[in-house]
Amino acid sequence: MKHAKMSFFKRLKEGITRNVIFIGLVSFFMDTSSEMIFSILPLFLMNVLHATAPIIGLIEGVAESTASILKFASGWLSDRCGKRKLFLYIGYGFSALFKPLFALANTWPVVLAARFGDWTGKGIRGTVRDAMLADSSEKRYRGKVFGLHRVMDKSGAIAGPLLAMLLFSFLGYKGIFWIAVIPALLAVLMILPIRVREKCHEEGFDSKKISFSLKGIDRKYKRFLLIVALFSFANFSYAFFMLRAQDIGVKPELVITMYLFLNIVYSLSAMPFGILSDRIGRKNVIAAGFFLFTLMMLGFAFATTVIQAFILFAMYGIFMSIFEGVPKAFVSDLVKEEKRGTALGLFNGITGIIVLPASLIAGLLWQYANPAMPFFLGAGISVISLIMLIFFV
């Protein structure tokens, strides 16, 4: 039995490098900080600052779009200059710098500025981090590597909401925002001693030849990019899922608990689905994720009870564990190493930029039609995307 356990853990560690572990630890601390804030931010905007649903959609959309544009730019630049680690320093430092602005906010434009600055840092570091993960892993273990990183990242997304839930009654919204600054600073401090091997400097890699071009990239990547871009119109900001829970009668404290539950499910699911994609194919796992998303959106449209909301948040966690990791591993498989930062950047950029119109549309439908309408629209778009994925990739 002991030998079997050792064999299991040995197999589990296969393909996991030192780089992967340390990148995951830095992500853990920054995500703890961010999720302390984001687990209460939509409620703070609506209940304290009295922001409307379209305004919340605007804030979330601007933040995601800003990050996405920079994810593309930083990915391409890291291919061009061959210095991926530099972008990690800048990105994490920039996010930590803007965290205190949430605690100082008394109007929604200040929150918008804080989200813009925070997500600027996320955009600078996000694609480069993904490229470094891909550089540090073999293809046969890449699903596992991205899954493990999701686990470590989302462990912070468990710790953050848990701290927010425990401290909310004592500190309120702004007290939690101030506490969230601490793990952000820890993330920045932790990255300083990390020695990351720059794959770009290995023999045979000429960064001077890198240019922005999709020439030579597999057509399957381009088709997949188009399909995910369409799907992104359905995948609007998480804020509307939290507001929908409150809309059906869930108290703010319990909404935070549901958000925590979502991240627990996400963290537990990420690595198994990554490993599953290594074994049965990434497309099959992504298609299952699209199908689950469709059911979840219909569920949110019709939900009326707390129990239903808990189940739907669990489904959301499973979907996110698939969508945040497996497609990136799929993109990494489809392109050559010297184009990887550019391809991942374009993927992250396009899917993120679309969050702005998607969230604005969701906010307008919420405000002027019915809170269930954004979810009906999302379900329809998801079905079309699933059909296209099956037949065109």
Measuring CA to CA, which residue among 185, 294, 189, 301 is closest to residue 241?
301
Residue with tokens 């984001």: 38
- Lowest average pLDDT, out of 247-256, 334-343, 376-385, goes to 334-343
Question: Using one digit for the tens of pLDDT, what is the confidence trace for 224-263?
Answer: 888 989 999 998 888 889 889 988 888 888 888 888 888 8
The confidence score (pLDDT) of residue 32 equals 92
CB 329, CB 142: distance < 8 Å: yes
Return the ∠ at Cα 305 (arms to 234 and 272), rounded to 5°.
Answer: 55
Under the banding of pLDDT at 50, 70 and 90, the label for residue 205 is very low
- Using alpha carbons, select from 111, 92, 98 the residue that is nearest to residue 43: 111
The answer to whether the beta carbons of residues 133 and 20 sit under 8 Å apart is yes
Reading the block at residue 236, the tokens are: 């609007």
Confidence of residue 384 (pLDDT cuts 50, 70, 90): very high
Distance from C-alpha of 95 to C-alpha of 47, rounded to nearest angstrom: 25
Q: pLDDT: is 131 or 100 the higher one?
A: 100
Q: How far apart are CA 252 and CA 40, in angstroms?
A: 8
Structure tokens at 200: 């770009």
- Does pLDDT of 198 surpass 80? no
Hunting for tokens 């920039």 — which residue is that? 94
pLDDT of 81 reads 64
Q: Cα separation of 241 and 353, whole Å? A: 19
E strand segments, the chain: none
The larger pLDDT score, comparing residue 129 to residue 10, is at: 129
Q: What is the DSSP letter of 120?
A: H
What confidence score (pLDDT) does residue 345 get? 72
d(CA 180, CA 200): 34
| Contact in structure between 184 and 33 (CB atoms under 8 Å) | yes
Do 152 and 144 touch, CB atoms closer than 8 A? no
Q: In the chain, what are the domain boundaries?
A: 17-194+217-392
Phi, psi of 197 (to 5 degrees): -70, 125
pLDDT band, residue 351 (cuts 50/70/90): confident
Q: What is the C-alpha separation between 289 and 323, in angstroms, rounded? A: 7
Q: What is the DSSP letter of 106?
A: S
Q: What is the pTM of this model?
A: 0.73
Whole-Å CA distances, 90 to 74, 111, 207, 345: 11, 22, 21, 17
Average pLDDT over residues 333-358: 77
- Coil, strand or helix: which one is 364? helix
Question: How confident is residue 203, by pLDDT bands cut at 50, 70 and 90?
Answer: very low
| Cα 249 from Cα 255, distance rounded (Å) | 10
Q: What is the pLDDT of residue 216?
A: 57
Averaged over 319-343, what is the pLDDT?
A: 78
CA distances 18 to 14, 57, 270, Å, are 12, 39, 20
Rounded to a whole number of angstroms, the distance between the first and last alpha carbons of the chain is: 44
- Checking if the pLDDT of 204 tops 50, the result is no
Q: Residue 315 and residue 311: Cα distance in Å, rounded?
A: 6
Mean pLDDT, the chain, whole residue set? 81
On the question of pLDDT at 310 being above 80, the answer is: yes
Q: Which among 330, 296, 298, 290 has a CA at the least distance from the CA of 313?
A: 296
Q: State the architecture of 17-194+217-392 in CATH terms.
A: Up-down Bundle (1.20)
Burial of residue 292 (number of CB atoms within 10 Å: 0-12, 13-18, 19+): middle
- Average pLDDT for residues 286-309, to the nearest whole number? 93
More confident residue, 221 or 136: 221
- What is the rounded distance in angstroms from the CA atom of residue 76 to the CA atom of residue 82? 10
Tokens standing for 280?
A: 């049965």
Q: Which residue has the tokens 């197999």?
A: 11
For 108-150, the pLDDT digits (tens) are: 999 999 998 888 888 888 777 777 777 666 666 667 777 777 7
pLDDT at res. 100: 93
Q: Of 83-92, 188-197, 239-248, 374-383, which range is least confident?
A: 188-197
Mean pLDDT, residues 292-299 taken together: 95
Contact 59, 115 (CB under 8 A): yes
Residue 38 pLDDT > 50, yes or no?
yes
- The per-residue pLDDT for 291 is 95
CA angle, residues 366, 368, 369, in degrees to nearest 5: 70
